[in-house]
């Protein structure tokens, strides 16, 4: 089981309730979790993570722009996007090579996405 492997995860979401819930679930799964309320806060952190669970719609720099910035800087973040928006709001900007979870998502989807990302990066 992938989830038996403790991972080092980051959650970037401006919604405090969603952040708190993800923190609780991911810790219950045995992972280490760090929480960030914005892309800027995350970018300033400098830690390495096995995977970053990144909300697309954020105040200031959004999820997609954060990814572009890090790619431009030559880094490739292991990412799972989460979003509350429908397709028409997201448009064609969402990269197809990043697993994207529509809020609300279930536990299995989250586990599958994490293992996909972590598996492909390891």
Partner 1 sequence: MTVGLPPFELLGRHLIEGSTDCVKLIDLDGRVVYLNSAGIELLDLNCTEDLVGRVWVDLWEGEHQAAARAVVARAMAGERTSFEGFCRTARGADKWWDVVVTPIADNDGIVVQLLTISRDITEKRQAADFRAGQQHVLEMIATGAALDVILTRLVQLVERHSAGMWCSVILLDEDGMHLRRGAAPSLPEGYNQAIEGAAIGPRTGSCGTAMYFGRTTVVTDVLVDPVWEDYRELAVAYGFRACWSTPIFSAQKRVLGSFAMYYPDPRPPLDEEARLVEVAANIAGIAIEHHRTLEALRRSEERNRAILRAIPDWMFILDPNGVFVDYHAKNPADLLVPPEVFLGKAIWEVLPPVISSALETAMAGALASDEPKKFEYSLESDQAQHFYEACVVRCDANRILSIVRDITDRKRAEMDAHVQRRELAHLSRVATLGELSGAMAHELSQPMSAILINAYAAMRLLSQEPVDLAETKAAIEDIISNDKRAGAVIERLRTLLKKGHIAFEAIDLNDVARDVLDLTRSDFLARRISVTTHLAPALPPIDGDRVQLQQVLLNLVLNACESMNASEMHERRLTVTTTTNDGFVRIAVSDRGVGIPEDQRAAVFEPFVTFREQGLGLGLAISRSIILTHGGRIVAENNPDRGATFTCLIPMRPVAATV
Q: Which residues bind partner 1 (CB under 8 A)?
A: 14-15, 17-18, 20-22, 24-25, 28-29, 57-59, 82, 84-86, 88-89, 102-107
Q: Which is nearer to partner 1, 90 or 118 (CB)?
A: 90
DSSP 107-121: HHHHHHHHHHHHHHH
Q: How far is the CB of 88 from partner 1 (least distance, A)?
A: 7
Q: Which is nearer to partner 1, 58 or 117 (CB)?
A: 58
Q: Which is nearer to partner 1, 53 or 117 (CB)?
A: 53
Q: How far is the CB of 47 from partner 1 (least distance, A)?
A: 23
The answer to whether 43 touches 63, Cβ cutoff 8 Å, is: no
Q: Which is nearer to partner 1, 16 or 76 (CB)?
A: 16
Q: How far is the CB of 46 from partner 1 (least distance, A)?
A: 26
**Strands of the 100-102 sheet, one edge to the other:** 32-36, 8-12, 51-55, 79-83, 100-102
Start-end of H helices in 1-122: 16-28, 39-43, 63-72, 87-90, 107-121
């Amino acid at each position: 089981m992938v989830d038996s492997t403790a991972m080092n995860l980051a959650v970037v979401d401006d919604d405090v309730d969603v952040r708190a819930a993800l923190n609780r679930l991911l810790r219950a799964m045995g992972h280490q979790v760090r929480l960030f309320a914005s892309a800027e806060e995350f970018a300033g952190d400098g830690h390495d993570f096995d995977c970053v669970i990144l909300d697309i719609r954020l105040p200031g720099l959004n999820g997609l722009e954060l990814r572009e910035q890090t790619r431009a800087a030559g880094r490739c973040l292991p990412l799972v996007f989460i979003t509350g928006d429908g397709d028409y709001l997201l448009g064609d900007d969402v990269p197809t090579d990043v697993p994207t979870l529509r809020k609300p998502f279930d536990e299995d989807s989250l586990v599958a996405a994490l293992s996909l990302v972590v598996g492909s990066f390891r």
